[in-house]
Amino acid sequence: LKIADVPVVLDVKDIEGSIKVAKENNIDGVLTIASDIAIPTVAAVATELGLPGISPEVAKIATNKALMREKFVEHGVPSPRFRKVRTLDEAKEAAKEIGFPVVIKPVDNAGSRGVSKIDNMSGLADAFNYAQKNSRIGDVIIEDFVEGIECTIEGMTYNNKTEILAISEKKKPGGHYRVATDLTYPPSFPEEMIENIKGVVRLAIEAIGIDIGPTHSEVIVTPQWKTVLIEVAARGGGFGVFSDVIPLVSGVDAVLENIKMCIGQKPDIKPKYERGVVLRFFAPHEGILKEIIGFDEAKLIKNTEIGLFKKVGDTIPPLATDGDRTGYILAWGETREEAIKRANMVEEKVKFIVKDEHQK
């Protein structure tokens, strides 16, 4: 609020209030950088004031995974089998029909909140309740678990043309929860596979109806080298992906170009180059954080940035959502291999001393 010309405290879900503030101040553009929950409000304000942006109908599809999947099926986008459910009995029926393992998630949340992988019926009730608790409308989807390598794809669309700015190869620890601990750009795939990923993502963006603005997509590359689209968000990637990673990978200032689009100016979204970047997250075992060793020394490593989300004395929770991570490493270089080497150097320096909460 310190840098705002007109500071306003307002719930981002308050569409009518946001429209009122926008009209009172005669705004020139409206956007959200990386927040799913603000997408319907942004679309409503843009439509009401005649500003560039996606429509409220497209925003509704882009923030509801069930509606999104229906569009994927309609347009032939390869995606997992799924069913939308509202009761535990419906969830059991869907899981039996699809077959284990399955992924259970709320239709209308992000950041891995409410998402679980379940291998058998014994874990279904807890996973269903966890997903439904994290859904604002109470709807949950049960989907086929697709084995393979998960990737995130950062795109920007202008005049119905999408430029792909960055593709990551993700790593996730085992277990029920689906939280990534490492994103490496670019992926270690053959060029033909990368072009296939880009084609599937563009088809998905078109299926949803996104004709302008940033997108953050997730796909699985199967062991058979097939691309399966998981979901698309009509926003930039969080945790600095949109603001920091995209410029490092592609040379495109995503925030600036997004602002240009939102105020009716032509953006420059064509990638200038492709460089290596690693975004890695610290995720020590759960307990009480007692000491952090080597942090200041690690900060001196060239072409890296590190930060913490927790401090000494905080509780390290189970890694259930993106917000449960302890800190991050951002490393970059001319190549993927150089970025990985620098991230490894940082990780070797930084150690977390965590005490079990039950230890005396």
Q: What's the pTM value of the predicted model, to 2 decimals? A: 0.92
Residue 89 within any structural domain of the chain? yes
Confidence of residue 176 (pLDDT cuts 50, 70, 90): low
Euclidean distance between CA atoms 89 and 49, whole angstroms: 45
| pLDDT digits 0-9 by tens, 221-278 | 999 999 999 999 999 999 899 999 999 999 999 999 999 999 999 999 999 999 999 9
DSSP state of 322: G
Q: Which two tokens stand for residue 3?
A: 């840098």
User: Of the candidates 103, 125, 144, which is a domain's last residue?
Assistant: 144
Residue 203 within any structural domain of the chain? no
pLDDT of the residue at 322? 81
Residue 11 within any structural domain of the chain? no
**CATH number, domain at 326?**
3.30.470.20
Helix (H, G, I), strand (E, B) or coil at 269: coil
pLDDT of the residue at 277? 98
Least confident of 74-88, 97-111, 288-302: 97-111
Dihedral over alpha carbons 205, 210, 213, 215 (to 10 degrees):
-30
User: Of the candidates 119, 144, 169, which is a domain's last residue?
Assistant: 144
pLDDT of the residue at 179? 80
Euclidean distance between CA atoms 292 and 232, whole angstroms: 37
Residue 97 within any structural domain of the chain? yes
Q: Residues 6 or more apart from 146 whose CB is under 8 A from it?
A: 80, 220, 222, 228, 230
pLDDT of the residue at 172? 79
Contact 232, 226 (CB under 8 A): no
Residue 195 within any structural domain of the chain? no
Residue 344 within any structural domain of the chain? yes
Specify the number of domains making up the chain.
2
DSSP state of 324: G
Burial (0-12, 13-18, 19+ Cβ within 10 Å), 89:
exposed
Residue 114 within any structural domain of the chain? yes
Domain that holds residue 318: 278-355
| pLDDT digits 0-9 by tens, 31-70 | 999 999 999 999 999 999 999 999 999 999 999 999 999 9
pLDDT above 80 (res 173): no
The sign of the dihedral angle between the CA atoms of 91, 94, 96, 101 is negative
Euclidean distance between CA atoms 173 and 336, whole angstroms: 21
Contact 349, 297 (CB under 8 A): yes
Least confident of 105-114, 188-197, 263-272, 289-298: 105-114
Residue 35 within any structural domain of the chain? no
| pLDDT digits 0-9 by tens, 89-148 | 999 999 999 999 999 999 998 767 888 899 999 999 999 999 999 998 899 999 999 999
Contact 227, 162 (CB under 8 A): no
pLDDT of the residue at 114? 86
**CATH number, domain at 138?**
3.30.1490.20
User: Of the candidates 103, 123, 144, which is a domain's last residue?
Assistant: 144
Of the candidates 277, 344, 280, 284, the residue with the CA atom closest to the CA atom of residue 314: 284
pLDDT above 90 (res 335): yes
Contact 227, 196 (CB under 8 A): yes
Output the 3-class SS for 118-164: ECCHHHHHHHHHHHHHCCCCCCEEEEECCCCEEEEEEEEEECCEEEE
